[in-house]
């Protein structure tokens, strides 16, 4: 799902665990024509999430490709945040910050 300049991808094992992956962009996500004012929406991914080299890879919905995939020499700047939530143990994990990594 997306709104404004934020895209959130959510995956679950359908038992107790949820992984949330949030991407923030430098521009608003607007779909449609050049005069479009629609800045939000949601789609269910039609491809499975891939696991490779100890990481998760989310497919990019076609509606969002132009915002996430660099083309024509254009750069795409993004900020990424992720959370891992386990509802059975009532715990949530976040990645270590850059400051903690530098210490």
Q: Closest by alpha carbon to 19, among 81, 62, 101, 67?
A: 81
> Which tokens belong to 32?
């449609």
**Residue-wise pLDDT tens for the chain (103 aa)?**
888 899 998 888 888 888 888 899 988 888 776 666 666 888 888 777 777 787 777 888 888 888 889 989 888 888 888 888 888 888 877 766 655 444 4
Question: What is the predicted pLDDT for the residue at 101?
Answer: 47
pTM: predicted TM-score of the whole model, two decimal places: 0.69
Give the DSSP per-residue string, the chain: -EETTEEEEEEE-SSSEEEEEEEEESS----SSTT----EE----SS--EEETTEEEPPPPGGGHHHHS--TT----EEEEEEEEETTTTEEE-PPPHHHHH-
Domain positions in the chain are 2-102
Q: What is the per-residue pLDDT for 53?
A: 85
């Amino acid at each position: 799902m997306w709104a404004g300049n934020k895209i959130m991808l959510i995956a679950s094992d359908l038992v107790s665990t949820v992984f949330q992956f949030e991407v923030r962009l430098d521009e608003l996500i607007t779909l449609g024509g050049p005069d479009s004012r629609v800045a939000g929406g949601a789609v269910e991914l039609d491809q499975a999430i891939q696991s490779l080299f100890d990481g998760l890879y989310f497919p990019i919905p076609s509606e969002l490709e132009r915002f996430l995939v660099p083309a024509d020499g254009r750069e795409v700047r993004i900020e990424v945040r992720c959370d891992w939530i386990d509802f059975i143990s009532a715990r949530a994990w976040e990645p270590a910050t850059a400051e903690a990594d530098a210490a």
